[in-house]
């Protein structure tokens, strides 16, 4: 028995998106809460304030990394949902599970901001992000296989799209052993996806652009 | 004299939902605020960080329990409102009262995360959640009896739906005496609803699926 | 020269409402942040936890008072905007000023929760709420006098509506001297509006119900 | 190859706005978190509470300055997007970068509230706001040059509009050297834009009002 579906123009479709967008907006804005105002001995000392902020520079780096990470997921979510013709209840439940890890992200971000040199911080961050990317593929596969997309993708385009979603997982998992050698190097691994996607363009099946990128 | 109603396609219907979804999204995302970054003596010690995080494992458990609880209520709210043809002002006011307890939930969650072994934490959590479920039934009954549903439910389907909403209340109240014996056992009681709903399928009136589950 | 207006079905009308609803939802949910988990000497002592929570009972009272206050303003805002046919830029700017005090409300709430017996807490709370109610009248008058309402109200209905919005201002200002005698008594004054509106029904001009209450 | 665009009436256009409005609403409401309840020795002492709040008066000033700053950007964003006929993906990405600095603003606000007399606080605040204004011009220029506006602006109107967006940047940058002499004076500089826009009316190209102000 098929589960009831909610069409693109239904109030329910809109609600799921507005809940999702709200959660994304809050998770991304809560990142700022970790940027604590330092305690100074001399309130008007430029030098001391500059030193204290410099001591916290990993927190600023973490803020902007996590903003970029959450922002990138929001854009990916946006692109993915723009291709949906309808949602069903299992997709809504899976989306909620995906959002649990988005909502959780400010914690690993704070951990990384505080203990940037600790390999375990990097591992926890990488595992969380890998789970989010993994859930992205689960959502994509549910939509493809249960007729929720506006048009079902050809097999090669679907495989290519799933591979592109999984690519970050690989880089995040690869960064885990690297973290035990050097944590900044591990963080750099996370950005390897950017040149890779440029290279991956070569294997892109015909028509994928139009079908996937929304 | 009947109170003015707001139809499904009115701006007011949409606003109530967007306020509700915003409040749900914030309450669920605020749960992360309790996950405090531990204080370490050796910033880069993997062992120490792992120990400190392990000390706080109840906080992580509470985060995911409350995410599941709030998420479940959001889905139930979503299903319920998808059946409404219109809202009236008392329903909007009752919905606000219901939301007061959703907004309150991060507090019992934090209490439970900090004092998992304290029966009173479990009691406070259980009572709050029981109130939310109770309010759900109040909303459902208002809608059924004041012609707000798209189609008024047959008596047996309505009773079945109300019973299903009340079932969690029973489990939460049952868990209260259990908490004085063992708090983890009390938490387990909360999840008894899942196998129960599978069993309850037997008594489901014909057509209930179509009428209730949206 | 008339300022450009945004009609009820424009994206801009919807954005102002979604920003407003978001801000209301956040302000009302942030109230929970003041409910701090107490520090216990014996983690599993029911007695100690009950005592510590009892010490903080004013915080719980403040949470529910402010939830009711903000919720009431949200319903009033909702009713008011449901009567608008369009917005102009000054109305959007005035709405923003109104929202500044809604966003500020969690601070007087926290102050009241911490220092319930301090007359100054009560005064600050009362002044903030009186400003919000005052701004409500400013918004209402702008809409009435610049043709933003779906139908301009008859003079007596407009006066009655403005008086009803101003009534809480009077009770909040009246509570200020009372606060120096007894702070719980001052808080009781705030709720005098409820019986009053019942009495005021007598002077209600004909047709006001239909025109004002949405 | 042109990037896919999302029309004004698409779900995607609406989502970008709802995410943006959510983020603005949260950033503006989070400002209240810095207003900490002071610690008193005598809970019911009016005098002591008044003194402690007076010690924190810079925090209240910062709250209202930042509310005005973020509110002004939200109105500008609102006006700008009301002129768009469609969005493309680069505009969505640029909008996200713009929002990163809006989300960051509560931090410089807190810094300013705590260390109002420290020139570095003023500099960090001014630089952040200058970046936001700069990004506004980048968004405006993308829209003008890639056919995203409902009607492409005449060259002189476009230049005038960009100059008006850049004007605050100039005042914020000018305030930086001033901060080393007097921080309150530097803050005053930020408000010079208000009389200036009145003066700039003279150079306004014909029809600019209608085309720019929405």
D34-46 pLDDT, tens digit per residue, is 888 899 999 889 9
A96-136 pLDDT, tens digit per residue, is 999 999 999 999 999 998 899 899 999 999 999 999 999 99
For D35, phi then psi, to 5°, come to: -80, 85
**pLDDT value for B209:** 64
To 10 degrees, the CA torsion angle through A157, A160, A161, A166? Answer: 160
Q: Give all chains having 3 or more CB-to-CB distances under 8 Å with chain C.
A: B, D
CB-CB under 8 Å, C46 with B103: no
**Which of D49, D59, D75 to substitute to test the interface with C, most C CBs within 10 Å?**
D49
**pLDDT value for D58:** 87
Q: What is the mean pLDDT of residues A83-88?
A: 90
CB-CB under 8 Å, A21 with D15: yes
**CA pair distance A12, B150, nearest whole angstrom:** 15
Contacts by B71-76, CB closer than 8 A, 24 or more apart: B71/A96, B71/A100, B71/B28, B73/B24, B73/B102, B73/B132, B73/B136, B74/A19, B74/A96, B74/B21, B74/B24, B74/B28, B75/A89, B75/A92, B75/A93, B75/A96, B76/B136, B76/B165
CB-CB under 8 Å, B214 with A96: no
Q: Give all chains having 3 or more CB-to-CB distances under 8 Å with chain A.
A: B, D
**CA pair distance B99, C17, nearest whole angstrom:** 19
Q: How confident is the model at residue A207 (pLDDT cuts 50, 70, 90)?
A: low
**Which of A1, A114, A115 to substitute to test the interface with B, most B CBs within 10 Å?**
A115
**Other Cβ atoms within 10 Å of B1 Cβ, number:** 4
Token pair for residue D195? 């009389």
| Percent with pLDDT over 90 in chain B | 38
Q: Is C82 helix (H, G, I), strand (E, B) or coil?
A: coil
**CA pair distance A182, D205, nearest whole angstrom:** 58
Kindly give the residue spans of alpha helices, DSSP state H, lying in B9-88: 11-30, 46-55, 57-82
Element (H, E) at A13: helix A11-30
Whether complex ipTM tops 0.85: no
**Which residues, other chains included, contact C155 with Cβ-Cβ below 8 Å and sequence gap of 6+?**
none
CA distance B153 to chain C (A): 28
Per the rule left: phi > 0, alpha: psi between -120 and 50, beta: everything else, D172 is alpha
Element (H, E) at B5: strand B5-7
Residues in chain A with CB shorter than 8 Å from the CB of D103 are: 28-29, 31-32, 67
CB-CB under 8 Å, C12 with D82: yes
Answer positive or negative: Cα dihedral of B147, B152, B155, B158.
negative
- Nearest Cα residue in chain C from B111: C37
In the DSSP assignment, the letter for residue C7 is E
If you count residue pairs, one on A and one on D, with CB atoms under 8 Å apart, how many are there? 95
First to last CA, chain B: 31
C44-92 pLDDT, tens digit per residue, is 899 999 999 999 888 898 899 889 989 989 988 888 888 899 999 899 9
CA distance D41 to chain A (A): 22
Range scoring the smallest mean pLDDT among A103-107, A163-167, D54-58? A163-167
C139-174 pLDDT, tens digit per residue, is 999 999 998 988 888 888 888 888 888 887 888 888
Task: Between B208 and D131, name the one with better pLDDT.
Answer: D131
**pLDDT value for D70:** 92
Residue A142, Cα to own-chain centre: how many angstroms?
19
Residues in chain A, overall count: 214
Contact yes or no for A37/D58 (Cβ under 8 A):
no
Residue from the list A30, A96, A121 with its beta carbon closest to the beta carbon of B29: A30
Q: What is the mean pLDDT of residues A59-69?
A: 90
CB-CB under 8 Å, C78 with B12: yes
**pLDDT value for B6:** 87
Residue C38, Cα to own-chain centre: how many angstroms?
30
CA distance A197 to chain B (A): 31
Q: Does the pLDDT of residue C21 top 50, yes or no?
A: yes
Residues in chain C with CB shorter than 8 Å from the CB of B127 are: none
Q: By CB neighbour count within 10 A (0-12 exposed, 13-18 middle, 19+ buried), where does B44 fall?
A: middle
Residue from the list D23, D25, D34 with its beta carbon closest to the beta carbon of A28: D23
Contact yes or no for A119/A183 (Cβ under 8 A):
yes
Beta strand D5-7 pairing with D86-88: antiparallel
CA distance A82 to chain D (A): 6
Residue from the list D22, D37, D46 with its beta carbon closest to the beta carbon of C114: D37
Q: Does the pLDDT of residue C206 top 80, yes or no?
A: no
Q: What is the mean pLDDT of residues D103-114?
A: 92
* Pick from B29, A161, D57, D118: nearest CA to C26: B29
Token pair for residue C28? 């009302």
**pLDDT value for D1:** 40
Could you give the angle at which helices C106-114 and C89-104 cross, rounded to 10 degrees?
A: 20
Q: Does the pLDDT of residue A5 top 80, yes or no?
A: yes
Residue from the list C19, C89, C103 with its beta carbon closest to the beta carbon of D32: C103
In this prediction the pTM is: 0.88
CB-CB under 8 Å, B118 with C37: no
**Which residues, other chains included, contact B189 with Cβ-Cβ below 8 Å and sequence gap of 6+?**
B171, B172, B174, B175, B178
CA distance A65 to chain D (A): 11
Q: Is D122 helix (H, G, I), strand (E, B) or coil?
A: helix
Residue B204, Cα to own-chain centre: how many angstroms?
23
**CA pair distance D192, C177, nearest whole angstrom:** 40
Interface of D with C (CB under 8 A): 8, 13-14, 17-18, 21-22, 24-26, 28-33, 35, 37, 40, 43-46, 49-50, 63-64, 67, 71, 74-75, 78, 81-82, 213-214
Token pair for residue C125? 């709370």
For D137, phi then psi, to 5°, come to: -65, -40
CB-CB under 8 Å, A11 with B25: no
C104-135 pLDDT, tens digit per residue, is 999 999 999 889 989 999 999 999 999 999 99
Q: How confident is the model at residue D207 (pLDDT cuts 50, 70, 90)?
A: low
Residue from the list A49, A63, A64 with its beta carbon closest to the beta carbon of D115: A49
Task: Between D213 and C174, name the one with better pLDDT.
Answer: C174
Q: Does the pLDDT of residue C1 top 70, yes or no?
A: no
If you count residue pairs, one on B and one on C, with CB atoms under 8 Å apart, how many are there? 93
Task: Between A165 and B136, name the one with better pLDDT.
Answer: B136
Contact yes or no for B99/B70 (Cβ under 8 A):
no
B126-143 pLDDT, tens digit per residue, is 999 999 999 999 999 999
């Amino acid at each position: 028995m098929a589960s009831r579906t909610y069409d693109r123009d239904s109030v329910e479709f809109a609600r799921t998106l507005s809940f999702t967008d709200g959660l994304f907006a809050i998770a991304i804005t809560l990142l700022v809460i970790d940027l604590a105002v330092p305690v100074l001995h001399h309130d008007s000392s430029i030098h001391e304030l500059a030193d204290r902020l410099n001591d916290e520079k990993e927190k600023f780096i973490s803020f902007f990394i996590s903003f970029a990470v959450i922002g990138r997921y929001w854009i990916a979510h946006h692109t993915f949902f723009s291709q949906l013709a309808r949602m069903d209840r299992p997709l809504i439940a899976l989306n909620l599970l995906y959002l649990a890890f988005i909502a959780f992200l400010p914690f690993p971000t704070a951990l990384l901001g505080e203990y940037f040199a600790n390999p375990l911080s990097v591992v926890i961050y990488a595992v969380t992000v890998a789970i989010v990317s993994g859930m992205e593929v689960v959502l994509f596969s549910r939509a493809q296989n249960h007729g929720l997309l506006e048009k079902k993708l050809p097999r090669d385009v679907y495989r290519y799209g799933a591979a592109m979603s999984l690519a970050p997982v690989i880089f995040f998992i690869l960064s885990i052993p690297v973290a035990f050698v050097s944590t900044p190097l591990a963080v750099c691994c996370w950005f390897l996806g950017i040149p890779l996607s440029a290279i991956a363009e070569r294997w892109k099946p015909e028509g994928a652009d139009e079908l996937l990128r929304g």
